[in-house]
Amino acid sequence: MAPILWAPLFVLMISAIIYLTLLVYFSTQHQTIKLFTKPHKTNYPDWSW
């Protein structure tokens, strides 16, 4: 009974960790891209995605 109860929580925890790492990765990528494209003025906001 216990593994059946713990399996969805385990999957949810792993997906949350993957989501957080992807979020941190994309935010750091966005910061580097913003640093490279700093001289150009853009009309769209910083967090367009």
CA distance 39 to 35: 9
Q: What is the pLDDT of residues 1-49, one digit of tens each?
A: 567 788 889 999 999 999 999 988 887 877 666 655 555 555 555 554 4
CA angle 40, 42, 48 (to 5 degrees): 130
Q: pLDDT tens digits, residue range 8-20?
A: 899 999 999 999 9
